[in-house]
Structure 1
Amino acid sequence: MAEVTAATPVDAAPPPSTKRERTGWYMYDWANSAFQTTVITVFLGPFLTTVTELAAGCALGADECDGRVSPLGIGIAAGSFYPYLISLSVLLQVFVLPVVGAIADRTPRKKWLLAGFAFLGAFATILFAFVTGDRYLLGGLLFLVANISFGAAFVVSNSFLPQLANPDDRDKVSSRGWALGYLGGGLLLLLNLVAVTLLSQDGNDQRTLDLARWSIVSAGVWWALFTVLPLLWLRDRPVVVTERVGPRGNVLTDGFRQLGGTIRHLKAYPLTLYFLLAFLVFNDGIQTVITLASQYGTEELKLEQDTLIITILIVQFLAFGGALGLGRLAGRIGAWKTVLLSLILWTGVVVAAFWLPAKEPVPFMILGACIGIVLGGSQALSRSLFSQMIPAGKEGEYYGFYEISDKGTSWLGPLAFGLVFQLTNSYRVGIVSLVFFFVVGFFLLLAVPVRRAIVAAGNTPPRVL
């Protein structure tokens, strides 16, 4: 069979996007943020840790638990199971997400690829209804499926961004999507807060555990329901192939072939990869804070579940405004400088978290407000900035690498946190390790010549960086 060349010329302008199409793209942020907020940030850490402690023989509601479980015959502390599980999910994503991105670049029906992973993740989340008693292994398996599907669907979603906005508008479009995501995630969390407040009973720890489980299930229902809107409003675009790829096979084999070619030619875009390295470092710290905040508040600070939920609501709704506000700031001083500023603020947040007093909800809420201000903007602007450095036709593939440390997935942070807890039995000591990720990430990003990286990828830089 003959070699194939571009399905669409590389220098051809993509069809202009409509307001309806961009709104559809924003709505996937609205849909999937329920999983990020309700499941990962608030309920899953304490819920799965409690289920694991039950499997370790600890009494429900016990203040301390030194029990151990043995998944796959490996003995670990019950409190370390969830952080280790997060690290395992990211290790699996290292292999899965770049392949998913490469396939997304090769298929002319990308929104249906988005649908497949989104509905798979939502279904796995809904199945948490069966994680009762001491079924911590079932909970761990469902989390792996849901989190990997979550990341894969977001890779596909992110790859739409360069097709929806020109270089000068991407910061604004990305920030709007992220802001709407925080608003949607916050709304479902508010509904769960009302349910927990009205239905919980003092001294009834089993009822509290059940409410957490059904809150997790509600996120799966929300995720599936609102994914229908982007499927209706987004449109598939022609495939852009920038190089000869050999005989045409199916989408799956062509995707593996494209990924293999890119891995062999990574040195062609060293500045893009250097930015990606900086992002993987500092965003690993961000995601660790997000993922383990509720576990830190519950286990170390001894805060009640309603305090944690109120704090996350503060984070969500302030992140809505923060994403839009930092997006406007990026329009004035540039996305690169704005992200650097946010990393300085993140460092201060982690240092302050170490000194938080136990059983005092107000300082924890104030810290949550600070997180909300910088959270949405740092993530949205990193996404749009990276889109400028991606070669045409490889958006999904590069976002596959990007997503390894984005939207609820991190690797080294939870691993370091879990190891420190294993050695010291103190979550407070573990939080100190996260300063490393923000400081190193800051200096790595500072060293990236962003404008040169954009030009080297064959793209036109925005007016302000």
Structure 2
Amino acid sequence: MSEAPGGVADLRPLERAREQRAWYWYDWANSAYTTTIGTVFFGPYFITLAENAVGENGRFAVGMFSLPPGALFFWLITLSTILSALLLPPLGAFADRRENKKALLGVFAWTGAAFASLIFFATGDNWQLAAVGIVVGNVCFGAAGVINDSILPLISDEQERDRVSSRGWAFGYLGGGLLLVINLVVFLGHDAIGLDEGLAARLCMLSAALWWAGFTLIPFLRLRNHQPQHLVPESGGAIRQSFGQLFATLKDLRRFPMALTFLFAYLFFNDGIQTVIASSAVYGAEELGHSQTILIGTILMVQFVAFGGALAFGRAAAAYGAKQVILFGLVVWMLIVTAALLLPAGNIPMFLVLGAAIGIVLGGTQALARSYFSLLIPKGKEAEYFSFYHAMDRGTSWFGTATFALVLSITDSYRPAIFALVVFFVVGGVLLLKVDTERGIREAGNVAPAVI
């Protein structure tokens, strides 16, 4: 063990390790929401509710547009991302002025879980209640994500960052996968336990909301408070102070051009990733004709493959640098959406292979993006910059879902809709190539890891 100045043993690495172990539990908690609700059950269940309202071949009249139930689902996700983009930056400025970030994490996670629980009560043709549940749930999920990501630089140094972020993502996939196993047993055995298929799906989604709320208690109880740093002096109440901090940071952004360039790269390639995730269950069911059982089994496989993928990407980053490994992941994503365009309907083995490919790059790409960005931002403004990180993603991620919905509406086919997402990975990769990592770390005043 190293010594601090004055000959006293330096306990900071042990304190960071304890906090890191507590922090991993939030990824474990929130991954259940992403997997069970966002990826597997909500899309098909919501479309069923919407079809009950207008009929299987009916369409919704929205202003001058006529939308099929499937497109309505994607426009709903688009609404939640736009709301997030508007709300997250002032939230980040507010959080950076607060010592007790773990309390904010709890508030947003528990509020999001409460609204997600409303989906359980949406039955028959009541798609409106399900819509409220998913929109507010998604907004709170994003807000909690800002707080959680802003804690990462507070509990790890630059050399540890990729490893800690990757382990968090990997741990999250284990949590999401474990609950999905339980839900798979419930859904497949719904007749044996006296449940109809709709009730079984609703119970599975309710379990994810409760899982998210329950396991958030661990980081809430075990993380420490960290004093804010480098605050902009502002008078007035909390809201006025937060907006003052936000405006000061916006003016200061030009001092960190590499962080800005990465933000633009991230908003494109993560937009593509999120749209693939959000559309995967609907694509598998509606275009490829796979049963809900096959879809759940594939997503379950993806969870456990992604666990290994996230850890492998973390180790690769230690050897080759996070930027190079992210670029490799983007090439794989381009191949995935191209393969999806050509995938034969009803071919289960090829669908599983595609799912495994997604699992390999899914967690690793996002985990390294989080840790890489943390190296490019100044200390004391973690929540603000991560709010831009999430807001840039969510503020433009409607491009992905809107592109998917638009192509679907024009062609009435999911195949060209999912292939259209390749442009997001291409543009994101080109922008990432323009990021000078060493310069960005130096501009932010951080310490460069051994391999960048």
TM-score (norm 2): 0.94
1:284 alignment partner in structure 2: 271
Aligned equivalents of 1:462, 1:86: Cα separation in 2: 37
CA-to-aligned-CA distance 1:26-46 (integer Å, 9 cap, x gap) = 000000000011011111111
* 8 A contact 2:82–2:395 mirrored in 1: no
User: By how many angstroms is 1:50 displaced?
Assistant: 1.1
Aligned equivalents of 1:312, 1:74: Cα separation in 2: 33
* 8 A contact 1:71–1:137 mirrored in 2: no
Alignment match of 1:213 (pick from 202, 210, 213)? 202
1:70-149 aligned within 5 A: 70=61, 75-149=66-140
Secondary structure of 2:37's partner?
Answer: helix
* 8 A contact 2:85–2:390 mirrored in 1: no
User: What one-letter code is carried by the residue in structure 2 that aligns with 1:233?
Assistant: R
Unaligned runs of 5+ in 2: 1-9
Aligned equivalents of 1:318, 1:137: Cα separation in 2: 35
Aligned equivalents of 1:231, 1:414: Cα separation in 2: 33
* 8 A contact 1:287–1:405 mirrored in 2: no
1:159 alignment partner in structure 2: 150
* 8 A contact 1:40–1:408 mirrored in 2: no
Aligned equivalents of 2:62, 2:99: Cα separation in 1: 41
* 8 A contact 1:28–1:227 mirrored in 2: yes
Secondary structure of 1:140's partner?
Answer: helix
2:230 alignment partner in structure 1: 241
User: What one-letter code is carried by the residue in structure 1 that aligns with 2:190?
Assistant: L
CA-to-aligned-CA distance 1:308-327 (integer Å, 9 cap, x gap) = 01111111001001100110
* 8 A contact 2:85–2:394 mirrored in 1: no
* 8 A contact 1:282–1:440 mirrored in 2: yes
Aligned equivalents of 2:63, 2:132: Cα separation in 1: 12
User: By how many angstroms is 1:404 displaced?
Assistant: 3.0
Secondary structure of 1:391's partner?
Answer: coil
Aligned equivalents of 2:143, 2:11: Cα separation in 1: 24
User: What one-letter code is carried by the residue in structure 1 that aligns with 2:234?
Assistant: G
Aligned equivalents of 1:172, 1:200: Cα separation in 2: 44
Is 1:366 the counterpart of 2:314? The answer is no
User: What one-letter code is carried by the residue in structure 2 that aligns with 1:316?
Assistant: Q
Deviates more, 1:322-331 or 1:267-276: 267-276
User: What one-letter code is carried by the residue in structure 2 that aligns with 1:48?
Assistant: F
User: By how many angstroms is 1:265 displaced?
Assistant: 2.8
Aligned equivalents of 2:414, 2:183: Cα separation in 1: 26
* 8 A contact 2:122–2:129 mirrored in 1: yes
Aligned equivalents of 1:417, 1:263: Cα separation in 2: 32
User: What one-letter code is carried by the residue in structure 2 that aligns with 1:245?
Assistant: P
Aligned equivalents of 2:392, 2:86: Cα separation in 1: 13
Aligned equivalents of 2:103, 2:35: Cα separation in 1: 25
2:337 alignment partner in structure 1: 350
2:24 alignment partner in structure 1: 26
Is 1:252 the counterpart of 2:218? The answer is no
User: What one-letter code is carried by the residue in structure 2 that aligns with 1:271?
Assistant: M
* 8 A contact 1:404–1:410 mirrored in 2: no
Unaligned runs of 5+ in 1: 1-12, 59-64
1:382 alignment partner in structure 2: 369
Aligned equivalents of 1:197, 1:409: Cα separation in 2: 37
Aligned equivalents of 1:355, 1:123: Cα separation in 2: 40
User: What one-letter code is carried by the residue in structure 2 that aligns with 1:302?
Assistant: G
Secondary structure of 2:189's partner?
Answer: helix
Alignment match of 1:47 (pick from 20, 45, 48)? 45
1:7 alignment partner in structure 2: none
User: What one-letter code is carried by the residue in structure 2 that aligns with 1:33?
Assistant: S
* 8 A contact 1:175–1:377 mirrored in 2: yes
Aligned equivalents of 1:14, 1:280: Cα separation in 2: 38
Aligned equivalents of 2:393, 2:348: Cα separation in 1: 28
User: By how many angstroms is 1:245 displaced?
Assistant: 2.8
1:4 alignment partner in structure 2: none
Aligned equivalents of 1:374, 1:189: Cα separation in 2: 20
Aligned equivalents of 1:385, 1:419: Cα separation in 2: 33
User: By how many angstroms is 1:402 displaced?
Assistant: 1.0
Q: How many pairs align?
A: 441
Deviates more, 1:44-53 or 1:256-265: 256-265
1:268 alignment partner in structure 2: 255
Aligned equivalents of 1:404, 1:190: Cα separation in 2: 32
User: What one-letter code is carried by the residue in structure 2 that aligns with 1:196?
Assistant: F
1:197 alignment partner in structure 2: 188
The 1:405–1:259 alpha-carbon spacing in structure 2 relative to 1, beyond 3 Å, is closer
TM-score (norm 1): 0.91
Aligned equivalents of 1:408, 1:338: Cα separation in 2: 26
2:281 alignment partner in structure 1: 294
* 8 A contact 1:105–1:396 mirrored in 2: yes
Is 1:392 the counterpart of 2:379? The answer is yes
Secondary structure of 2:376's partner?
Answer: coil
* 8 A contact 2:404–2:418 mirrored in 1: yes
User: What one-letter code is carried by the residue in structure 1 that aligns with 2:413?
Assistant: S
User: By how many angstroms is 1:304 displaced?
Assistant: 0.2
Secondary structure of 1:239's partner?
Answer: coil
Aligned equivalents of 1:317, 1:407: Cα separation in 2: 26
Is 1:186 the counterpart of 2:173? The answer is no
User: By how many angstroms is 1:75 displaced?
Assistant: 4.0
- Give the root-mean-square deviation of aligned CA atoms: 2.0
User: What one-letter code is carried by the residue in structure 2 that aligns with 1:43?
Assistant: F
Secondary structure of 1:18's partner?
Answer: helix
Aligned equivalents of 2:251, 2:125: Cα separation in 1: 46
Secondary structure of 2:224's partner?
Answer: coil
2:4 alignment partner in structure 1: none
